[in-house]
Structures are given as C-alpha cells and as structure tokens.
Amino acid sequence: MTQVTQFMRVDLTEVEPGVIHGRADRAEHLTKPDGAMRVGPLLTMLDYAGGLCGGLASLPDGWVVSTNLAARFVAPARHGPFRIEASVLRVGRNNVVTAVALYDEGADDALVASGVLTSAVLVPENGPPQWERPLRLVNLTPSGPQPDLTEWLRLRAIDGGVEIPLDDRFRNPWGILHGGVVATIVDLAAGGNTTDVVLHFLAPNRIGPVQAIATPVGERSDGTVQRVEVRDIGADRVTAVAIVTSL
C-alpha cells in the first residue's frame, strides 16, 4: 500500500478471481467545503481498485500500469462508507480493461461514479509483485486529524492551473507519480467540481515539479468542458491529457 492510498484511506479485498471490492469512509481531510468528497480521492480509489484488479488478472507473468481512466460522476459522495467495485471486462495480451464503480452506502447505496480503467500489461524487471491470495490490503494508518488534501499535496496555484512538487510520498511502487495524484491535480486544475473525466496517462512523471493546466473548450447546460494538460516540468514533457466536464 502506498502513502497515497493510505492517505486516501481505502481498503481492498479480492472477493473472487477478477473482482475487487474496496471500502473507504468519508474523511474530513478529503472533503470539499460543501461536505462532499473531492473527486480526486474518488478517482484514486477507482484507479487503485481497477489497477489491482487488472494486475491480478495479468499474473503470473505481468503486471499493469494505468493507461486511461474514464469516469462519470452522477451524484456527490456525501455520506459514506463508500464501496468501490472493480471487475475485469477483458484481458488481452497487451492490456486489461476493468469496469469500476463507486457507491455511497450511507445514501441508500446510491451510485456515485461509473467508469472504465484500461491498463497496459508490462513485465517488470524484477518480476511482478508477489501476493498472498485472495488479496486483502488494509489501511493501517491510525485515524486522526490529517492535513487537508491540498496542503498534503503542497499544491500551489499557478496561471491556469496547479503545481505540486514530486515528493517521494506521491510515488507509486515503480518510483513515478501515482496515477491517483495525477487524477487529483487534473480535477483541481479544472476547478475541483469534475462530473466527467477522460484521462490518458501518456508518460511517467519522474522528476517534477508537475503542473496541470486547464484550458476551456466550451460551455454547456451541464457545465464547462475543459482540456487539462499535465507536464513534468523537470523532464519538459507532457505526461497526461484529460478532457474534463465540471460544474
């Protein structure tokens, strides 16, 4: 479990081959001023559960890295506990597709988000991670006050978007910026009220700082459509592109 997923306070359980369920409580440090959970942590939960689901489906030879996450939010996550469900839709030679969904059990099990995570299958240099099956990953971080998400990220507003340092706390086991953090800064760059996101991970963020810049594309009756570009400034390259609809 990474520091990112510990901070997001999510537990995952493999309930059967090809199916992962997750659970997370509403956490004050992950909420917006209106009391609803921020979209970034919810996307992190979807990416985490979907990625693990796809990774387990790629064993014994390979493991996965997220290549794109598309999700639609249909209700705010206000109550909790939240249930995350991930299930494999397709396992191919090069990629794995998983359906992901998030429900608010405290709101009559209302659907909060529905999406799909696509992951590329890779063969890690030192082999894929070893897991005891069925897999159970429990967040052991003691409950208690935590810094607010934006403070924890050391987020800085810049012209048209946001910037974070590539702190070691934000890296995944492969040493690159966690996909959930990328999704989080995409949401924050777009204004923090995302209802629809399509996020393509194009290259790893290794050096930092990492910037997300939002450009409006159009206005509609359900919000503003924006293009968000993520760059690893230290590596001088675009690392992700997203299309975001936000209120």
Partner 1 sequence: MTTAYPPPHHLLWDLRLRFAHDDDNASRAWMPVTPEVCGDDGSVRAGALTTLVDVISGGLAARAAQPNWIATADLTLHMTGRAANGEVEARARVLRAGRTTVVLEIDVVDERERTVAVATSSFAVLPRRDINPDISERTAGSFAPPDGAALRVPYADQLGIRVLDAAAGVVEVPVTDWSRNSMGAFQGGAVGAVLEAAAEAALRTASNSPLVVTDLHVTYLSFGRVGPLQTRTEVLAADADRGVATVALFDTGAEMRTTTTARVVATRSLL
- Give the residue among 102, 136, 149, 140 at the shortest CA–CA distance from 6: 140
Contact set for partner 1, span 98-117 (CB under 8 A): 99, 111, 114-116
Nearer to partner 1, 138 or 202 (CB): 202
Considering the rule CB under 8 A, would residue 136 count as an interface residue with partner 1? no
Task: Assess contact for 167 and 184: CB atoms under 8 A.
Answer: no
Enumerate helices (H) and strands (E) in the chain, giving the number of each: 4, 13
Q: Which stretch binds partner 1 (CB under 8 A): 22-30, 36-44, 170-178, 220-228?
A: 220-228
Task: Assess contact for 235 and 206: CB atoms under 8 A.
Answer: yes
Considering the rule CB under 8 A, would residue 227 count as an interface residue with partner 1? yes
Q: Minimum distance from CB of 146 to partner 1 (Å)?
A: 31
Considering the rule CB under 8 A, would residue 217 count as an interface residue with partner 1? yes
Considering the rule CB under 8 A, would residue 92 count as an interface residue with partner 1? yes
- 15 dihedral zone (left: phi>0; alpha: psi -120 to 50; beta): alpha
Taking CA atoms, 33 is separated from 18, 29, 41, 141, in Å, by 37, 10, 15, 24
Using CB under 8 A as the binding criterion, the count of chain residues that bind partner 1 stands at 37
Considering the rule CB under 8 A, would residue 238 count as an interface residue with partner 1? yes
Task: Assess contact for 202 and 177: CB atoms under 8 A.
Answer: no
| Runs of H (alpha helix) within the chain | 3-8, 39-58, 149-152, 179-189
Considering the rule CB under 8 A, would residue 78 count as an interface residue with partner 1? no
What is the spatial distance between Cα 68 and Cα 172, in angstroms, rounded to a whole number? 16
Spatial CB neighbours of 215, under 8 Å, sequence gap ≥ 6: 160, 226, 227, 228, 229
Contact set for partner 1, span 161-180 (CB under 8 A): none
Considering the rule CB under 8 A, would residue 127 count as an interface residue with partner 1? no
Q: Minimum distance from CB of 122 to partner 1 (Å)?
A: 9
Considering the rule CB under 8 A, would residue 203 count as an interface residue with partner 1? yes
- Judged by CB under 8 A, the residue of 14, 187, 196, 232 near partner 1 is 196
Q: Where are the beta strands (DSSP E) in 74-189?
A: 82-91, 95-104, 110-122, 136-137, 156-158, 161-164
Considering the rule CB under 8 A, would residue 59 count as an interface residue with partner 1? no
Q: Which stretch binds partner 1 (CB under 8 A): 7-15, 24-32, 159-167, 215-223?
A: 215-223
The footprint of partner 1 (CB under 8 A) covers 67-68, 70, 72, 74-75, 89-90, 92, 94-95, 97, 99, 111, 114-116, 118, 120-121, 196, 198, 200, 202-203, 217-222, 225, 227, 238, 241, 243, 245
